[in-house]
């Protein structure tokens, strides 16, 4: 069973931003897919099990951005 969660990320302005967020979130254990929409700031994370919000938030922060909504 997979789990899909959506978040909104602020501060992204280019395709490099998408790559940075995708790379950091994809590195989390259990994450199987990451999709980022630059226009809306939407981040969709698919995983094998529930990923704690704090882990997603820390990964996005490591990429240089902020989660503003879950």
Q: Which domains does the chain have, with CATH numbers?
A: 3-69 (3.30.70.100)
Does pLDDT of 9 surpass 90?
A: yes
Report CA torsion sign: 52, 27, 2, 13: positive
Does pLDDT of 1 surpass 90?
A: no
Does pLDDT of 23 surpass 90?
A: yes
> H or E element: which one contains 29?
none
Say how far apart CA 65 and CA 12 lie, in whole Å.
Answer: 7
């Amino acid at each position: 069973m997979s789990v899909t969660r959506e978040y909104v990320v602020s501060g992204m302005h280019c395709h490099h931003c998408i790559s940075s967020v995708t790379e950091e979130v994809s590195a989390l254990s259990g994450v199987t897919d990451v999709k980022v929409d630059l226009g809306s700031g939407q981040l969709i994370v698919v995983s094998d099990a529930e990923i704690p919000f704090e882990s997603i938030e820390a990964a996005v922060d490591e990429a240089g951005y902020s989660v503003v909504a879950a």
